[in-house]
Structure 1
Amino acid sequence: MPEQTVNPKVSVILPTYNRARLLSRALESVLNQTYRDFELILIDDASTDETRQVIGRYHDKRIVYVYLEFRRGAACARNTGLKLARGVYIAFQDSDDEWFKEKLALQVPVLDSSPAEVGMVYSDYCRQEDGRTKQVILPKEASAIHNLLFHGNFIPIQCLVKKECFERIGFFDEELGRYQDWDLWLRISSVYQFVGLGQCLFKVYVQNEGISQDNRKRIAALERILEKNITQFAKRPSALAGQYYLLGRIYRREGQPTVAFKKHLKAFLLRPLNLKYCFFLLTCVLGGFLTGKIWRRKKT
Protein backbone atom coordinates (compact mmCIF):
# COMPACT_ATOMS: atom_id res chain seq x y z
CA MET A 1 0.00 0.00 0.00
CA PRO A 2 1.51 3.39 -0.97
CA GLU A 3 2.40 5.57 1.97
CA GLN A 4 1.08 9.11 2.22
CA THR A 5 3.98 11.43 1.49
CA VAL A 6 4.57 14.35 3.83
CA ASN A 7 4.99 16.81 0.98
CA PRO A 8 3.60 15.30 -2.23
CA LYS A 9 4.70 16.99 -5.41
CA VAL A 10 1.24 16.75 -6.99
CA SER A 11 -2.19 17.28 -5.46
CA VAL A 12 -4.95 15.63 -7.48
CA ILE A 13 -8.37 17.17 -6.84
CA LEU A 14 -11.42 15.07 -7.66
CA PRO A 15 -14.86 16.53 -6.85
CA THR A 16 -17.87 14.24 -7.03
CA TYR A 17 -21.62 14.33 -6.53
CA ASN A 18 -23.82 11.23 -6.76
CA ARG A 19 -21.50 9.41 -9.16
CA ALA A 20 -21.09 6.20 -7.15
CA ARG A 21 -21.61 3.98 -10.19
CA LEU A 22 -18.89 5.79 -12.18
CA LEU A 23 -16.47 6.92 -9.50
CA SER A 24 -14.32 3.78 -9.31
CA ARG A 25 -13.12 4.18 -12.88
CA ALA A 26 -11.96 7.75 -12.30
CA LEU A 27 -10.48 7.04 -8.89
CA GLU A 28 -8.57 3.91 -9.92
CA SER A 29 -7.16 5.64 -13.00
CA VAL A 30 -5.51 8.12 -10.63
CA LEU A 31 -4.29 5.55 -8.10
CA ASN A 32 -2.82 3.42 -10.92
CA GLN A 33 -0.56 6.18 -12.24
CA THR A 34 3.03 5.14 -12.87
CA TYR A 35 4.03 8.44 -11.26
CA ARG A 36 3.48 7.93 -7.52
CA ASP A 37 4.34 11.19 -5.72
CA PHE A 38 0.85 12.59 -5.28
CA GLU A 39 -2.07 12.95 -2.92
CA LEU A 40 -5.66 12.43 -4.09
CA ILE A 41 -8.10 14.88 -2.53
CA LEU A 42 -11.66 13.59 -2.96
CA ILE A 43 -14.28 16.26 -2.34
CA ASP A 44 -17.73 14.72 -1.88
CA ASP A 45 -20.23 17.49 -2.60
CA ALA A 46 -22.94 16.19 -0.23
CA SER A 47 -23.67 13.03 -2.23
CA THR A 48 -26.78 11.09 -1.21
CA ASP A 49 -25.95 7.85 -3.04
CA GLU A 50 -23.33 5.19 -2.24
CA THR A 51 -20.35 7.46 -2.91
CA ARG A 52 -19.00 7.26 0.65
CA GLN A 53 -19.15 3.45 0.58
CA VAL A 54 -17.36 3.32 -2.79
CA ILE A 55 -14.53 5.49 -1.51
CA GLY A 56 -14.34 3.45 1.69
CA ARG A 57 -13.29 0.39 -0.31
CA TYR A 58 -9.95 2.02 -1.17
CA HIS A 59 -7.40 1.76 1.64
CA ASP A 60 -4.78 3.98 0.08
CA LYS A 61 -3.03 6.48 2.34
CA ARG A 62 -2.70 8.95 -0.50
CA ILE A 63 -6.47 9.53 -0.40
CA VAL A 64 -7.79 12.54 1.49
CA TYR A 65 -11.59 12.34 1.73
CA VAL A 66 -13.68 15.41 2.51
CA TYR A 67 -17.47 15.35 2.79
CA LEU A 68 -19.32 18.65 2.38
CA GLU A 69 -22.51 18.78 4.46
CA PHE A 70 -24.36 20.93 1.92
CA ARG A 71 -24.09 20.83 -1.84
CA ARG A 72 -22.02 23.76 -3.05
CA GLY A 73 -21.25 22.94 -6.67
CA ALA A 74 -18.15 21.87 -8.59
CA ALA A 75 -16.35 25.22 -8.31
CA CYS A 76 -16.63 25.28 -4.52
CA ALA A 77 -15.62 21.62 -4.30
CA ARG A 78 -12.50 22.26 -6.37
CA ASN A 79 -11.70 25.36 -4.34
CA THR A 80 -12.01 23.31 -1.15
CA GLY A 81 -9.46 20.91 -2.61
CA LEU A 82 -7.16 23.77 -3.58
CA LYS A 83 -7.17 25.09 -0.02
CA LEU A 84 -6.14 21.66 1.27
CA ALA A 85 -3.57 20.92 -1.44
CA ARG A 86 0.02 20.40 -0.31
CA GLY A 87 1.60 19.79 -3.71
CA VAL A 88 3.46 22.32 -5.83
CA TYR A 89 1.46 21.13 -8.84
CA ILE A 90 -2.32 20.74 -9.05
CA ALA A 91 -4.05 18.15 -11.21
CA PHE A 92 -7.79 17.91 -11.73
CA GLN A 93 -9.88 14.85 -12.43
CA ASP A 94 -13.62 14.54 -13.04
CA SER A 95 -15.55 11.76 -11.35
CA ASP A 96 -16.69 10.14 -14.60
CA ASP A 97 -13.49 10.32 -16.66
CA GLU A 98 -10.36 8.20 -16.94
CA TRP A 99 -6.67 9.02 -16.88
CA PHE A 100 -4.22 6.87 -18.81
CA LYS A 101 -1.43 5.43 -16.66
CA GLU A 102 1.36 7.68 -17.95
CA LYS A 103 -0.53 10.97 -17.62
CA LEU A 104 1.31 12.40 -14.62
CA ALA A 105 4.60 10.76 -15.60
CA LEU A 106 4.53 12.70 -18.87
CA GLN A 107 3.14 16.00 -17.57
CA VAL A 108 5.19 16.52 -14.40
CA PRO A 109 8.61 16.63 -16.16
CA VAL A 110 7.27 19.30 -18.52
CA LEU A 111 6.56 21.70 -15.65
CA ASP A 112 9.78 20.65 -13.92
CA SER A 113 11.85 21.68 -16.93
CA SER A 114 9.83 24.70 -18.08
CA PRO A 115 10.73 28.34 -17.41
CA ALA A 116 8.96 30.31 -14.69
CA GLU A 117 6.47 31.88 -17.10
CA VAL A 118 4.91 28.47 -17.90
CA GLY A 119 2.01 27.74 -15.56
CA MET A 120 0.13 24.83 -17.14
CA VAL A 121 0.59 21.71 -19.22
CA TYR A 122 -2.38 20.15 -21.03
CA SER A 123 -2.71 17.41 -23.62
CA ASP A 124 -4.80 15.88 -26.36
CA TYR A 125 -7.43 13.41 -25.20
CA CYS A 126 -9.96 10.81 -26.25
CA ARG A 127 -13.67 11.57 -26.20
CA GLN A 128 -16.24 8.80 -25.86
CA GLU A 129 -19.88 9.51 -26.66
CA ASP A 130 -22.68 7.12 -27.61
CA GLY A 131 -20.23 4.22 -27.64
CA ARG A 132 -17.88 5.89 -30.13
CA THR A 133 -14.40 7.15 -29.28
CA LYS A 134 -12.49 9.83 -31.15
CA GLN A 135 -9.17 11.54 -30.59
CA VAL A 136 -9.32 15.28 -29.90
CA ILE A 137 -6.29 17.25 -31.09
CA LEU A 138 -5.82 20.60 -29.38
CA PRO A 139 -3.95 23.75 -30.49
CA LYS A 140 -0.35 23.78 -29.25
CA GLU A 141 1.05 27.19 -30.30
CA ALA A 142 1.90 28.72 -26.91
CA SER A 143 1.80 32.33 -28.12
CA ALA A 144 -1.73 31.90 -29.49
CA ILE A 145 -3.39 30.12 -26.56
CA HIS A 146 -4.58 33.22 -24.69
CA ASN A 147 -6.25 34.72 -27.76
CA LEU A 148 -7.77 31.39 -28.80
CA LEU A 149 -9.38 30.99 -25.38
CA PHE A 150 -11.52 34.07 -25.99
CA HIS A 151 -13.25 32.13 -28.76
CA GLY A 152 -14.22 29.42 -26.27
CA ASN A 153 -12.66 26.88 -23.96
CA PHE A 154 -10.81 24.01 -25.58
CA ILE A 155 -8.65 22.95 -22.61
CA PRO A 156 -10.29 20.26 -20.47
CA ILE A 157 -10.03 20.29 -16.71
CA GLN A 158 -7.59 17.35 -16.75
CA CYS A 159 -4.49 19.53 -16.92
CA LEU A 160 -1.54 20.08 -14.57
CA VAL A 161 -1.13 23.56 -13.11
CA LYS A 162 1.45 25.16 -10.86
CA LYS A 163 -0.07 25.91 -7.47
CA GLU A 164 1.43 29.40 -7.62
CA CYS A 165 -1.01 30.22 -10.44
CA PHE A 166 -3.94 29.99 -8.03
CA GLU A 167 -2.08 31.88 -5.33
CA ARG A 168 -1.48 34.70 -7.80
CA ILE A 169 -4.64 34.65 -9.96
CA GLY A 170 -7.25 33.28 -7.57
CA PHE A 171 -9.53 30.25 -7.51
CA PHE A 172 -12.57 29.11 -9.48
CA ASP A 173 -15.45 31.60 -9.61
CA GLU A 174 -18.15 29.99 -7.45
CA GLU A 175 -20.84 32.24 -8.94
CA LEU A 176 -20.55 30.44 -12.27
CA GLY A 177 -22.83 27.45 -12.79
CA ARG A 178 -20.95 26.52 -15.95
CA TYR A 179 -17.61 27.27 -17.65
CA GLN A 180 -15.71 27.76 -14.37
CA ASP A 181 -12.60 26.25 -15.94
CA TRP A 182 -12.81 28.52 -19.00
CA ASP A 183 -13.06 31.59 -16.79
CA LEU A 184 -10.03 30.48 -14.80
CA TRP A 185 -7.96 29.61 -17.89
CA LEU A 186 -8.65 33.08 -19.29
CA ARG A 187 -7.28 34.61 -16.10
CA ILE A 188 -4.26 32.32 -15.80
CA SER A 189 -3.32 32.61 -19.48
CA SER A 190 -3.21 36.40 -19.14
CA VAL A 191 -0.15 35.95 -16.89
CA TYR A 192 1.29 32.50 -17.62
CA GLN A 193 2.06 30.47 -20.72
CA PHE A 194 0.54 27.06 -21.41
CA VAL A 195 2.30 24.04 -22.91
CA GLY A 196 0.37 21.44 -24.90
CA LEU A 197 1.41 17.80 -25.31
CA GLY A 198 0.56 15.98 -28.52
CA GLN A 199 -0.43 12.75 -26.79
CA CYS A 200 -3.81 11.50 -25.60
CA LEU A 201 -3.40 11.19 -21.85
CA PHE A 202 -6.99 10.69 -20.72
CA LYS A 203 -10.48 9.81 -21.85
CA VAL A 204 -13.57 11.97 -21.38
CA TYR A 205 -16.90 10.15 -21.19
CA VAL A 206 -19.69 12.42 -22.38
CA GLN A 207 -22.85 12.03 -20.31
CA ASN A 208 -25.87 13.44 -22.13
CA GLU A 209 -27.67 14.44 -19.01
CA GLY A 210 -27.80 16.94 -16.19
CA ILE A 211 -25.80 20.13 -16.25
CA SER A 212 -24.71 19.79 -19.88
CA GLN A 213 -28.35 20.32 -20.88
CA ASP A 214 -29.04 23.30 -18.59
CA ASN A 215 -29.29 26.25 -20.96
CA ARG A 216 -30.21 28.71 -18.23
CA LYS A 217 -26.94 28.04 -16.43
CA ARG A 218 -25.10 28.36 -19.73
CA ILE A 219 -26.69 31.75 -20.36
CA ALA A 220 -25.93 33.05 -16.86
CA ALA A 221 -22.33 31.86 -17.05
CA LEU A 222 -21.67 33.27 -20.52
CA GLU A 223 -23.17 36.63 -19.58
CA ARG A 224 -21.03 36.78 -16.42
CA ILE A 225 -17.82 35.82 -18.24
CA LEU A 226 -18.47 38.48 -20.88
CA GLU A 227 -19.16 41.06 -18.18
CA LYS A 228 -15.97 40.19 -16.30
CA ASN A 229 -13.81 40.24 -19.42
CA ILE A 230 -15.59 42.70 -21.70
CA THR A 231 -12.55 44.97 -22.04
CA GLN A 232 -10.44 42.08 -23.30
CA PHE A 233 -13.24 40.71 -25.49
CA ALA A 234 -13.71 44.17 -27.04
CA LYS A 235 -10.10 43.99 -28.27
CA ARG A 236 -11.04 40.77 -30.08
CA PRO A 237 -14.23 41.56 -32.04
CA SER A 238 -14.29 38.21 -33.80
CA ALA A 239 -14.28 36.35 -30.48
CA LEU A 240 -16.89 38.71 -29.00
CA ALA A 241 -19.14 38.24 -32.02
CA GLY A 242 -18.86 34.49 -31.60
CA GLN A 243 -20.02 34.67 -27.99
CA TYR A 244 -22.96 36.93 -28.87
CA TYR A 245 -23.92 34.49 -31.62
CA LEU A 246 -23.78 31.56 -29.18
CA LEU A 247 -25.90 33.44 -26.66
CA GLY A 248 -28.41 34.25 -29.39
CA ARG A 249 -28.76 30.57 -30.26
CA ILE A 250 -29.27 29.57 -26.62
CA TYR A 251 -31.75 32.37 -25.88
CA ARG A 252 -33.76 31.34 -28.91
CA ARG A 253 -33.87 27.71 -27.74
CA GLU A 254 -35.08 28.99 -24.39
CA GLY A 255 -38.01 30.77 -26.04
CA GLN A 256 -36.67 34.33 -25.69
CA PRO A 257 -36.72 35.60 -29.30
CA THR A 258 -36.38 39.29 -28.44
CA VAL A 259 -33.19 38.78 -26.46
CA ALA A 260 -31.95 36.35 -29.11
CA PHE A 261 -32.45 39.01 -31.78
CA LYS A 262 -30.43 41.55 -29.78
CA LYS A 263 -27.54 39.11 -29.38
CA HIS A 264 -27.56 38.14 -33.06
CA LEU A 265 -27.66 41.83 -34.00
CA LYS A 266 -24.58 42.51 -31.88
CA ALA A 267 -22.76 39.62 -33.57
CA PHE A 268 -23.75 40.90 -37.01
CA LEU A 269 -22.64 44.48 -36.26
CA LEU A 270 -19.24 43.23 -35.15
CA ARG A 271 -18.84 40.94 -38.18
CA PRO A 272 -21.32 42.04 -40.90
CA LEU A 273 -19.63 39.94 -43.60
CA ASN A 274 -20.05 36.71 -41.67
CA LEU A 275 -22.73 34.76 -43.55
CA LYS A 276 -23.69 32.68 -40.52
CA TYR A 277 -24.37 35.78 -38.44
CA CYS A 278 -26.35 37.32 -41.31
CA PHE A 279 -28.44 34.18 -41.70
CA PHE A 280 -29.36 33.85 -38.04
CA LEU A 281 -30.16 37.54 -37.71
CA LEU A 282 -32.44 37.17 -40.71
CA THR A 283 -34.16 34.13 -39.20
CA CYS A 284 -34.82 36.16 -36.05
CA VAL A 285 -36.39 38.96 -38.09
CA LEU A 286 -38.46 36.63 -40.24
CA GLY A 287 -39.40 34.50 -37.26
CA GLY A 288 -40.72 37.52 -35.42
CA PHE A 289 -42.57 38.76 -38.51
CA LEU A 290 -44.24 35.39 -39.14
CA THR A 291 -45.13 34.95 -35.47
CA GLY A 292 -46.74 38.38 -35.40
CA LYS A 293 -48.64 37.68 -38.61
CA ILE A 294 -50.02 34.39 -37.25
CA TRP A 295 -50.99 36.11 -33.99
CA ARG A 296 -52.88 38.85 -35.82
CA ARG A 297 -54.77 36.24 -37.87
CA LYS A 298 -55.82 34.43 -34.70
CA LYS A 299 -57.15 37.64 -33.20
CA THR A 300 -59.30 38.31 -36.25
Structure 2
Amino acid sequence: MVLLSITITAKNEAPVIDKVLNNLVEQLNDLNYEMILIDNWSTDNTFQLLKKYENEYIKVFRYKGSKGSARNFALKNADGKYVMALDADQIYLNLDKFLKDYFSTYSSYAVKIGRSSFPIISPKELLMNVGGWRDLQFGEDWDLWFRLAEACKYVYLADYDWVFGEHIRDHKNNYSSIISRIRKYMIKYRDLYIVGLPVYSQNIYDKFFYRLGRVLSFFNSEKKIVYNCTKYLEMPIDKMGSEIDWDLQFHYNLIKYQLLTCKNKTIFLEILSKIDNYLKRNYGIM
Protein backbone atom coordinates (compact mmCIF):
# COMPACT_ATOMS: atom_id res chain seq x y z
CA MET A 1 0.00 0.00 0.00
CA VAL A 2 1.15 3.54 -0.77
CA LEU A 3 1.95 5.44 2.43
CA LEU A 4 1.56 9.01 1.17
CA SER A 5 -0.26 10.57 -1.77
CA ILE A 6 0.97 14.07 -2.61
CA THR A 7 -1.75 15.93 -4.49
CA ILE A 8 -1.17 19.14 -6.45
CA THR A 9 -3.67 21.11 -8.50
CA ALA A 10 -2.18 23.51 -11.01
CA LYS A 11 -3.67 26.14 -13.31
CA ASN A 12 -1.44 28.22 -15.59
CA GLU A 13 1.68 27.36 -13.60
CA ALA A 14 3.94 26.64 -16.60
CA PRO A 15 6.66 29.16 -15.56
CA VAL A 16 7.17 27.46 -12.17
CA ILE A 17 5.87 23.89 -12.24
CA ASP A 18 9.18 22.23 -13.18
CA LYS A 19 10.97 23.95 -10.32
CA VAL A 20 8.25 22.98 -7.84
CA LEU A 21 8.05 19.32 -8.86
CA ASN A 22 11.81 18.78 -9.15
CA ASN A 23 12.20 20.22 -5.66
CA LEU A 24 9.65 17.73 -4.29
CA VAL A 25 11.08 14.68 -6.06
CA GLU A 26 14.58 15.44 -4.80
CA GLN A 27 13.38 15.48 -1.19
CA LEU A 28 11.20 12.37 -1.19
CA ASN A 29 13.34 9.68 -2.85
CA ASP A 30 13.31 7.39 0.19
CA LEU A 31 9.58 7.63 0.88
CA ASN A 32 6.81 5.28 -0.21
CA TYR A 33 4.75 7.88 -2.05
CA GLU A 34 2.83 8.74 -5.17
CA MET A 35 1.90 12.06 -6.75
CA ILE A 36 -1.51 13.00 -8.10
CA LEU A 37 -1.05 15.99 -10.41
CA ILE A 38 -4.16 17.80 -11.64
CA ASP A 39 -4.12 20.34 -14.44
CA ASN A 40 -7.20 22.47 -13.79
CA TRP A 41 -7.85 23.33 -17.45
CA SER A 42 -4.85 25.61 -17.94
CA THR A 43 -4.68 27.90 -20.94
CA ASP A 44 -0.88 27.64 -21.08
CA ASN A 45 1.20 24.45 -21.46
CA THR A 46 1.01 23.37 -17.81
CA PHE A 47 -0.67 20.07 -18.75
CA GLN A 48 2.04 19.17 -21.26
CA LEU A 49 4.73 19.90 -18.67
CA LEU A 50 2.97 17.73 -16.07
CA LYS A 51 2.73 14.84 -18.54
CA LYS A 52 6.54 14.72 -18.68
CA TYR A 53 6.55 13.47 -15.09
CA GLU A 54 3.96 10.74 -15.56
CA ASN A 55 5.12 7.26 -14.59
CA GLU A 56 4.12 4.35 -12.36
CA TYR A 57 4.17 6.58 -9.27
CA ILE A 58 3.06 9.92 -10.70
CA LYS A 59 -0.46 10.18 -12.11
CA VAL A 60 -1.51 13.14 -14.24
CA PHE A 61 -5.12 14.16 -14.87
CA ARG A 62 -6.90 17.04 -16.52
CA TYR A 63 -9.95 18.35 -14.70
CA LYS A 64 -12.20 21.35 -15.17
CA GLY A 65 -13.77 22.85 -12.06
CA SER A 66 -13.22 24.99 -9.00
CA LYS A 67 -10.08 24.72 -6.90
CA GLY A 68 -11.98 22.84 -4.22
CA SER A 69 -13.54 20.32 -6.59
CA ALA A 70 -10.16 19.78 -8.28
CA ARG A 71 -8.60 19.01 -4.88
CA ASN A 72 -11.47 16.60 -4.20
CA PHE A 73 -10.94 14.92 -7.57
CA ALA A 74 -7.28 14.41 -6.64
CA LEU A 75 -8.30 13.04 -3.24
CA LYS A 76 -10.61 10.44 -4.77
CA ASN A 77 -7.86 9.29 -7.15
CA ALA A 78 -5.27 8.98 -4.38
CA ASP A 79 -4.30 5.49 -3.17
CA GLY A 80 -2.21 6.55 -0.18
CA LYS A 81 -3.09 5.94 3.45
CA TYR A 82 -2.29 9.64 3.98
CA VAL A 83 -2.84 12.60 1.67
CA MET A 84 -0.68 15.72 1.63
CA ALA A 85 -2.23 18.47 -0.49
CA LEU A 86 0.29 21.07 -1.64
CA ASP A 87 0.22 24.18 -3.82
CA ALA A 88 1.75 24.38 -7.28
CA ASP A 89 3.57 27.69 -6.76
CA GLN A 90 5.35 26.99 -3.45
CA ILE A 91 8.86 25.66 -2.87
CA TYR A 92 8.84 23.39 0.18
CA LEU A 93 11.89 22.63 2.32
CA ASN A 94 12.75 19.98 4.93
CA LEU A 95 9.68 17.89 4.13
CA ASP A 96 11.42 14.73 5.38
CA LYS A 97 11.86 16.36 8.80
CA PHE A 98 8.26 17.56 8.91
CA LEU A 99 6.86 14.20 7.82
CA LYS A 100 8.86 12.48 10.56
CA ASP A 101 7.19 14.81 13.09
CA TYR A 102 3.76 14.21 11.61
CA PHE A 103 3.92 10.41 11.48
CA SER A 104 5.40 10.13 14.97
CA THR A 105 3.03 12.54 16.75
CA TYR A 106 -0.02 13.67 14.77
CA SER A 107 -0.80 10.88 12.32
CA SER A 108 -4.45 10.48 13.36
CA TYR A 109 -5.17 14.19 12.77
CA ALA A 110 -5.39 16.59 9.85
CA VAL A 111 -2.56 19.10 10.17
CA LYS A 112 -1.96 22.58 8.75
CA ILE A 113 1.43 24.14 9.41
CA GLY A 114 3.13 27.50 9.27
CA ARG A 115 2.16 30.93 8.03
CA SER A 116 2.30 30.15 4.34
CA SER A 117 0.97 27.91 1.62
CA PHE A 118 0.37 24.43 3.04
CA PRO A 119 -3.22 23.22 2.61
CA ILE A 120 -3.15 20.03 4.76
CA ILE A 121 -1.82 16.56 5.52
CA SER A 122 -4.28 14.00 6.83
CA PRO A 123 -5.29 10.36 6.81
CA LYS A 124 -7.23 9.91 3.59
CA GLU A 125 -10.06 8.18 5.45
CA LEU A 126 -10.51 11.24 7.68
CA LEU A 127 -10.77 13.59 4.70
CA MET A 128 -13.28 11.31 3.03
CA ASN A 129 -15.34 11.02 6.22
CA VAL A 130 -15.79 14.81 6.47
CA GLY A 131 -16.57 15.11 2.75
CA GLY A 132 -13.25 16.45 1.45
CA TRP A 133 -13.18 19.85 -0.20
CA ARG A 134 -16.38 21.53 -1.32
CA ASP A 135 -16.95 22.97 -4.80
CA LEU A 136 -15.52 26.43 -4.04
CA GLN A 137 -12.83 28.51 -5.72
CA PHE A 138 -11.89 30.53 -2.62
CA GLY A 139 -11.95 29.68 1.08
CA GLU A 140 -12.19 25.96 0.27
CA ASP A 141 -9.31 25.32 2.67
CA TRP A 142 -10.99 27.13 5.59
CA ASP A 143 -14.26 25.33 4.86
CA LEU A 144 -12.48 21.99 5.21
CA TRP A 145 -10.63 23.08 8.36
CA PHE A 146 -13.94 24.10 9.95
CA ARG A 147 -15.44 20.66 9.32
CA LEU A 148 -12.34 18.95 10.66
CA ALA A 149 -12.49 21.11 13.80
CA GLU A 150 -16.14 20.17 14.26
CA ALA A 151 -14.98 16.54 14.11
CA CYS A 152 -12.25 17.24 16.74
CA LYS A 153 -9.54 16.29 14.25
CA TYR A 154 -7.87 19.58 13.25
CA VAL A 155 -4.37 20.57 14.35
CA TYR A 156 -2.53 23.78 13.51
CA LEU A 157 1.23 24.00 14.12
CA ALA A 158 2.49 27.58 13.97
CA ASP A 159 6.24 27.24 14.34
CA TYR A 160 7.03 25.45 11.07
CA ASP A 161 8.20 28.31 8.87
CA TRP A 162 11.33 26.29 8.06
CA VAL A 163 9.20 24.16 5.72
CA PHE A 164 8.58 27.09 3.37
CA GLY A 165 10.93 28.41 0.74
CA GLU A 166 10.02 30.68 -2.14
CA HIS A 167 6.35 31.37 -2.88
CA ILE A 168 6.49 32.06 -6.62
CA ARG A 169 3.66 34.34 -7.70
CA ASP A 170 5.16 36.86 -10.13
CA HIS A 171 3.65 35.10 -13.13
CA LYS A 172 0.07 35.48 -11.88
CA ASN A 173 -2.45 38.15 -12.89
CA ASN A 174 0.09 40.01 -15.02
CA TYR A 175 -2.28 40.28 -17.95
CA SER A 176 -5.69 39.97 -16.32
CA SER A 177 -8.33 42.38 -17.62
CA ILE A 178 -10.52 44.60 -15.47
CA ILE A 179 -13.49 42.36 -16.29
CA SER A 180 -11.66 39.22 -15.13
CA ARG A 181 -10.56 40.96 -11.92
CA ILE A 182 -14.13 42.03 -11.15
CA ARG A 183 -15.35 38.48 -11.80
CA LYS A 184 -12.65 37.12 -9.50
CA TYR A 185 -13.74 39.46 -6.69
CA MET A 186 -17.37 38.45 -7.17
CA ILE A 187 -16.52 34.74 -6.88
CA LYS A 188 -14.14 35.35 -3.97
CA TYR A 189 -16.64 37.15 -1.78
CA ARG A 190 -19.44 34.77 -2.75
CA ASP A 191 -17.32 31.86 -1.54
CA LEU A 192 -16.15 33.64 1.62
CA TYR A 193 -19.78 34.28 2.54
CA ILE A 194 -20.66 30.62 1.88
CA VAL A 195 -17.76 29.48 4.08
CA GLY A 196 -18.67 31.95 6.85
CA LEU A 197 -15.19 33.45 7.05
CA PRO A 198 -15.31 36.94 8.60
CA VAL A 199 -14.06 39.76 6.36
CA TYR A 200 -12.36 42.67 8.13
CA SER A 201 -11.55 45.02 5.27
CA GLN A 202 -12.82 48.58 5.60
CA ASN A 203 -12.27 49.19 1.89
CA ILE A 204 -15.51 50.37 0.26
CA TYR A 205 -14.97 48.06 -2.71
CA ASP A 206 -14.43 45.00 -0.49
CA LYS A 207 -17.61 45.84 1.44
CA PHE A 208 -19.53 46.19 -1.84
CA PHE A 209 -18.26 42.86 -3.22
CA TYR A 210 -19.00 41.08 0.05
CA ARG A 211 -22.63 42.26 -0.12
CA LEU A 212 -22.75 41.25 -3.77
CA GLY A 213 -21.22 37.88 -2.91
CA ARG A 214 -23.96 37.29 -0.37
CA VAL A 215 -26.58 37.81 -3.09
CA LEU A 216 -24.69 35.58 -5.54
CA SER A 217 -24.52 32.78 -2.97
CA PHE A 218 -28.26 32.19 -3.39
CA PHE A 219 -27.63 31.14 -7.00
CA ASN A 220 -24.73 28.81 -6.20
CA SER A 221 -24.99 25.04 -5.86
CA GLU A 222 -22.90 25.11 -2.66
CA LYS A 223 -24.95 26.72 0.10
CA LYS A 224 -23.77 28.39 3.28
CA ILE A 225 -23.22 26.06 6.22
CA VAL A 226 -23.17 27.66 9.67
CA TYR A 227 -20.35 25.95 11.53
CA ASN A 228 -20.35 26.18 15.33
CA CYS A 229 -16.61 26.84 15.41
CA THR A 230 -16.87 30.06 13.38
CA LYS A 231 -18.54 31.74 16.36
CA TYR A 232 -15.19 31.45 18.17
CA LEU A 233 -12.93 32.82 15.44
CA GLU A 234 -12.94 36.46 16.54
CA MET A 235 -12.44 35.84 20.25
CA PRO A 236 -9.50 37.97 21.52
CA ILE A 237 -6.38 36.12 22.60
CA ASP A 238 -5.63 36.78 26.27
CA LYS A 239 -2.39 38.46 27.36
CA MET A 240 -1.35 39.59 23.90
CA GLY A 241 1.12 42.47 24.02
CA SER A 242 0.60 43.33 20.37
CA GLU A 243 -1.95 42.60 17.68
CA ILE A 244 -1.63 39.50 15.54
CA ASP A 245 -3.11 39.06 12.09
CA TRP A 246 -6.52 37.49 11.61
CA ASP A 247 -5.15 34.26 10.10
CA LEU A 248 -3.16 33.32 13.20
CA GLN A 249 -5.95 34.46 15.51
CA PHE A 250 -8.49 32.29 13.70
CA HIS A 251 -6.25 29.21 13.83
CA TYR A 252 -5.57 29.75 17.53
CA ASN A 253 -9.28 29.93 18.21
CA LEU A 254 -10.02 26.80 16.15
CA ILE A 255 -7.73 24.90 18.50
CA LYS A 256 -9.33 26.59 21.52
CA TYR A 257 -12.78 25.63 20.23
CA GLN A 258 -11.75 21.98 20.11
CA LEU A 259 -10.29 22.21 23.61
CA LEU A 260 -13.64 23.47 24.86
CA THR A 261 -15.87 21.05 22.97
CA CYS A 262 -13.95 17.81 22.33
CA LYS A 263 -13.53 14.84 24.67
CA ASN A 264 -9.80 14.33 24.05
CA LYS A 265 -8.41 17.60 25.38
CA THR A 266 -4.76 16.56 25.85
CA ILE A 267 -3.63 17.11 22.27
CA PHE A 268 -5.30 20.53 22.07
CA LEU A 269 -3.76 21.63 25.38
CA GLU A 270 -0.35 20.68 23.98
CA ILE A 271 -0.97 22.50 20.70
CA LEU A 272 -2.18 25.67 22.46
CA SER A 273 0.92 25.62 24.64
CA LYS A 274 3.13 25.42 21.54
CA ILE A 275 1.26 28.27 19.84
CA ASP A 276 1.53 30.35 23.04
CA ASN A 277 5.31 29.86 22.98
CA TYR A 278 5.36 30.89 19.34
CA LEU A 279 3.33 34.02 20.14
CA LYS A 280 5.64 34.85 23.03
CA ARG A 281 8.72 34.67 20.82
CA ASN A 282 7.22 36.55 17.89
CA TYR A 283 4.56 38.90 19.30
CA GLY A 284 5.31 39.39 22.98
CA ILE A 285 2.72 37.96 25.34
CA MET A 286 2.36 40.24 28.35
TM band (smaller chain) = 0.5 to 0.7
Q: 1:121 aligns with which of 111, 116, 119?
A: 111
The residue type equivalent to 2:168 in the other structure is Y
Aligned partner of 1:287 in structure 2 is none
How many residues align? The count is: 203
Deviation at 1:212, TM superposition (A): 8.7
Report if the CA contact (8 A) 1:110-1:121 is conserved.
Answer: no
Aligned to 2:42: 47
The residue aligned with 1:20 is 14
Instruction: Confirm or deny: 8 A CA contact 2:111 2:121 kept in the other structure.
Output: yes
Post-superposition offset of 1:157: 3.3
What's the TM-score once normalised by structure 2's chain length? 0.61
Give the aligned partner of residue 163 of structure 2: 201
Task: Tell which structure's C-alpha radius of gyration is larger.
Answer: 1
Residue 93 of structure 1 aligns to a residue whose secondary structure is: strand
Equivalents in 1 of 2:36, 2:210: separation in Å? Answer: 45
> Is the 1:26–1:93 contact (alpha carbons within 8 Å) kept by the matching residues of 2?
no
| CA positional deviation for 1:21 | 1.5
- Per the alignment, residue 173 of structure 1 pairs with 134
Which sections of structure 2, spanning at least 5 residues, go unmatched?
A: 213-233, 236-286
Residues 215 and 257 from structure 1, CA distance in 2 versus in 1: closer, same or farther, beyond 3 angstroms?
closer
Q: Which deviates further from its counterpart, 214-223 or 81-90?
A: 214-223
Structure-2 separation of matches of 1:67 and 1:259: 34
Match of 2:220 in 1: none
CA contact (8 A) 1:157 1:181 kept: no
Root-mean-square deviation (Å): 3.2
- Post-superposition Cα deviations, 1:175-201, rounded to whole Å, max 9, x if no partner, equal x22110011011112221415263321
Q: 1:107 is matched by which residue type in structure 2? A: F
Residues in 2 aligned to 1:107 and 1:212: alpha-carbon distance in whole angstroms: 37
In structure 1, runs of 5+ residues without a counterpart are 1-6, 125-135, 137-154, 227-239, 261-269, 272-300
Alignment match of 1:185 (pick from 129, 140, 145): 145
Q: 2:75 aligns with which of 70, 76, 82?
A: 82
Percent identity among equivalent residues? 21
Q: Contact 2:16 / 2:168 at 8 angstroms: preserved in 1? A: no
Deviation at 1:166, TM superposition (A): 1.1
Distance 2:79 2:50 in 1: 21
Give the TM-score taking structure 1 as reference length: 0.58
CA apart distance, 1:64: 0.5
Output aligned runs, 1:149-164, within 5 Å. 156-164=117-125
